[in-house]
Amino acid sequence: MNRLERLFADSRGTGRKALVVYVCAGDPDLAATERLVPQLAEAGADVVELGVPFSDPLADGPTIQAAAQRALQSGTTLSAVLAMVRQLRQGGCSVPLVLFGYMNPIVRMGLAPFVTQAAEAGADGVLVADLPLEESHTLGELAQASGLSLVLLAAPTTPPGRLRAIGQATRGFLYFVSVTGVTGTRAELPADLPAKLREARAASSAPVAVGFGVSTPEQARALAAHADAVVVGSALVEALHRGGRDASEGLSLVRSLAAAVHAAR
């Protein structure tokens, strides 16, 4: 098992829920991201998703779109993100790292070279927002052979049969999208989300993480009772951007989220 799979195996054994946080790699630049990742782990993040910036991030709302543009303007590329992951591992960072991106940069690099370089750099998982189940098999097989987990997504609108297929094919965890629409903070989450999460957990052989729209410790605590992990992205990206190169506001948010999630059972 890689770091990601070990984390969830240990969490399931103890009943402890996990906090997954998303940051856009290269926002404001890769040196800042490299400094930030170990701080996120120290603040309580169990898994860090590293967003690979792309010019057309169709699953993302305005906050992460803007972060991706800032990262691209700073010169961030997929190759540079992989080099940063290697530096993090060489520096002793052990938190599970999942590369969150889109197919276009991966196809440009080549599926096999991407998987090889990601595994050698020290990534644990890959999540591709625009990769449907039907087209995931080649990347999934390459990833599995290299010890990477290809994380798949499901949504509230996913039919039961398809949910079961995704739940059996995903590795590391199943990312369950809490709402229909793009990423972004929301004041309220759907009332039927706990029932949807029960269906997802019943259909999946992997742990289920819920994300999109989760922004407060109260929301995170409530959802952690119905899932194996909670994902927070836009709220953290917003907090980090407000602070510029001072990450204290973002780290304070992570500490509060971690306390809420880890207290849930």
Give the catalytic positions in this structure: 49, 60
Pick from 38, 33, 21: nearest CA to 68: 33
Alpha helices in 158-212 (DSSP H): 160-169, 193-203
Decide: helix, strand or coil at residue 89.
helix
Any idea how long the chain is? 265
What are residue 177's phi and psi, to 5 degrees? -80, 125
Q: For tokens 């999942």, what's the residue?
A: 98
Please calculate the CA angle 161-145-23 and round it to the nearest 5 degrees. Answer: 75
How far apart (Å, rounded) are the C-alpha atoms in residues 200 and 186?
22
How far apart (Å, rounded) are the C-alpha atoms in residues 151 and 173?
6
- Rounded alpha-carbon distances, angstroms, from residue 241 to 9, 41, 211: 33, 19, 20
How far apart (Å, rounded) are the C-alpha atoms in residues 54 and 235?
20
Alpha helices in 29-77 (DSSP H): 30-43, 62-73
The residues pairing with 101 across neighbouring beta strands, listed in sequence order, are 128
